[in-house]
């Protein structure tokens, strides 16, 4: 017996998805045996109350959904960058996260990604023209944080992106002083 392939039109999928909650959409995707489903996911930012649209169901949007629900859009963005989740970062950028948002230490997503050595996230953020000279509450830039933590490949990326190599933190330390030998 020949297997038939189920084909759902985008309009039909959108109609189905508009009546399902997040968990039901995931079960629908799994029932179809698909790794992803182009079915918009709606989540409410707990901080602003704004409706956020994520562009379908896949591993990145599922991770983004839960980060937003537990925090808010901008903190989810910073956390994804800090954890090196580049596909989640890209999803949150598409969901209109504030690229210059800061956490309680005034760290941006770029500072957190640089600190933890996530060069692909750093490159994504640099490509989106984030402020590479933003400083946290101690005056540390992304370049200084990368240098302090010995993240040589990130330091190189930031220098290529024209980060200020002369920058000093509030204590007078520079990237040169902090670079490990």
For 25-81, what is each residue's pLDDT tens digit?
778 777 777 777 777 778 888 888 888 888 777 888 888 888 998 999 999 999 999
The pTM of the full predicted model, rounded to 2 decimals, is 0.81
pLDDT at 21 over 90: no
Comparing CA positions, the residue from 93, 136, 86 lying closest to residue 115 is 136
Domain membership flag for residue 124? yes
Comparing CA positions, the residue from 109, 136, 133, 137 lying closest to residue 123 is 109
CATH number of the domain enclosing 173: 1.25.40.20
Whether 125 and 145 map to the same domain: the answer is: yes
* pLDDT at res. 169: 77
Q: Pick from 98, 124, 150: which residue ends a domain?
A: 98
User: Which structure tokens are listed for 17?
Assistant: 């998805």
Whether 77 and 113 map to the same domain: the answer is: no
For 112-154, what is each residue's pLDDT tens digit?
999 999 999 999 999 999 999 999 999 999 999 999 888 999 9
Domain that holds residue 76: 7-98
Whether 116 and 179 map to the same domain: the answer is: yes
Cα torsion at 71, 72, 73, 77 (round to 10°)? -30
């Amino acid at each position: 017996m020949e297997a038939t392939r189920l084909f759902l039109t985008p309009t039909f999928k959108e109609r189905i998805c508009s009546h399902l909650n997040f968990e039901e959409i995931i079960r629908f995707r799994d029932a179809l045996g698909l790794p992803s489903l182009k079915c918009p996911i709606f989540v409410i930012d707990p901080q602003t109350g704004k409706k956020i649209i994520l562009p379908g169901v896949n591993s990145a949007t599922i991770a983004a959904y839960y980060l937003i629900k537990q925090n808010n859009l901008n903190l989810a963005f910073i956390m994804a960058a800090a954890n090196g989740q580049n596909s989640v970062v890209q999803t949150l950028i598409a969901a209109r996260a504030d690229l210059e948002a800061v956490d309680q230490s005034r760290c941006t997503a770029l500072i957190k990604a640089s600190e933890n050595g996530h060069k692909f996230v750093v490159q994504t953020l640099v490509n989106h023209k984030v402020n590479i000279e933003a400083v946290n509450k101690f005056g540390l830039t992304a370049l200084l944080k990368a240098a302090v933590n010995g993240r040589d490949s990130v330091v190189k990326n930031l220098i290529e992106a024209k980060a200020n190599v002369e920058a000093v933190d509030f204590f007078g330390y520079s990237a040169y002083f902090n670079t490990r030998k």
